[in-house]
Amino acid sequence: MLESVALPPTGPLPDTLTLFEHLADAVYLIDPDTSNIVWANRLAWECLGMTRDDILNHSVLSLQKDIHGLPQWSEIAGIIRASDCYRFIGRHRHRDGHEIEVEVLTTSFEHAGRPYFLSVARNLSRQLAQQQDLQDREKQLWFALNEAIDGLWDWEVATGKLYFSPQLKRMLGYGPDEMAPVLDTWKLNVHPDDVADVLGVLSEHMQGKRARFEAVYRLRNRNGHYLWVHDRGRVCEFAPNGEPARVVGMVHDISDRKQLELQLQELASFDPLTGLPNRREANAFLDTQAQLCRRMNLPLGIAFLDIDHFKQINDLHGHLMGDQVLRQVGTVIQSTVRGSDMVCRWGGEEFLILAPNTALQDMHRVAEKVRQAVVDATSGLPVSITLSAGVSAARGQAIDIRTLIAEADSALYKAKSEGRNRVESTLPATQPA
């Protein structure tokens, strides 16, 4: 049975109203002058948790939360009359107090000389919920992607256009409208020492010689500092002729990890107190230089240096003073020898000088120069610092690392046994190696 209120004798046709009962949206017939609802389909009140009597002959403003009072209604009514279809996004009140988002489409017409508004209100709650769910999922996916990587790039090979994601620009210290979208913007910011290797790997991937582009390199940021990045990409589109057309990739900032890696490498190769290479690094250098000197028939000199009475310095003045002495002695030795020579902290209070292309007489003079430089440079300390040194050398195929070290160590023992603060060698200093 058609639910309706009494209409004028020439009211809307019952058959037309019956059609509205089958709509999935709420339908209201409104008196434009009073804003009263003169007819509605069943869904109009059921979706609001109301009854027929709750809305019929009541102002449509009682349903709306965003239109207040007849003056505002009169203004809107004028707009509706002037429009083919007036669209309004609003909120209807449910009986239990919550709000329902609605999209209302209103048209005006006349029947039997009387004006009416016909409003169709669509409940947007489910649609908004679906949109929100999609947006939430999209946000989650983008969040996960952005958390997993620090930047995206997309290269159109034919045009040379290179897209940098906002995250990548932010990582490098640029705003979203900066960084020209061309290949040179990236290429010119790769560290000069890395650019050849990186471009080589990219070229090999583009030629099909590598399954993907992957490189670890340094990339300059806005302030001129370099970040270590792990860059991976792959050709994702090909031109009709089979040539790569589009390459996409992602960049991770691995500066912290790389810095830690470099620090660990430094700890493995350098003495943390003096900053000099340690015994491990010295042995590697010694192997390399011994091979070179054998091949080139060059001499290789070694000097063992030991701080005299170092235990007394620790015992009388404390370990902080001992550490200061070690650091200063290491600095003096390093500044006295040639740049091609290596100075290392061999262990404890012992230092080692490795001098390629240095014969025994020259090695003796180097050690003596270092001994005197340490005495002069540490004269201001509250303790007297002297060095004892033992030197050895060999040439070409006669070079044997173990023998060189043993001879220098023996010469050092001789220097200590003969009064310290002196340089001794395995052979008289006037005899060539």
Please identify every residue annotated as catalytic: 349
Q: Which residues contact 404 (CB under 8 A, 6 or more apart)?
A: 300, 302, 392, 393, 394
Dig out the tokens for 394 from the structure. 């060999």
Per the structure block, which two tokens stand in for 127?
């649609």
Residue pair 211/201 in contact by the 8 Å Cβ criterion: no
Task: Indicate the DSSP class of residue 149.
Answer: -
Q: 139 - beta bridge partners?
A: none
**Residue 384 neighbours by CB under 8 Å, 6+ apart:** none
Q: What is the CA radius of gyration of the chain?
A: 44
- The Cα–Cα gap between 359 and 303 comes to 11
Q: 360 near 429, Cβ under 8 Å?
A: yes
Give phi and psi for 215, each to the nearest 5. Answer: -150, 145
Q: Which residues have C-beta within 8 Å of that of residue 268, sequence separation ≥ 6?
A: 280
Which 3 state secondary structure label does DSSP give 160?
A: coil
Please give the structure tokens belonging to residue 13.
């046709």
- Please, what is the Cα angle at 201 between 196 and 206, to 5 degrees? 120
Give the Cα separation of 11 and 29 in Å (integer).
Answer: 11
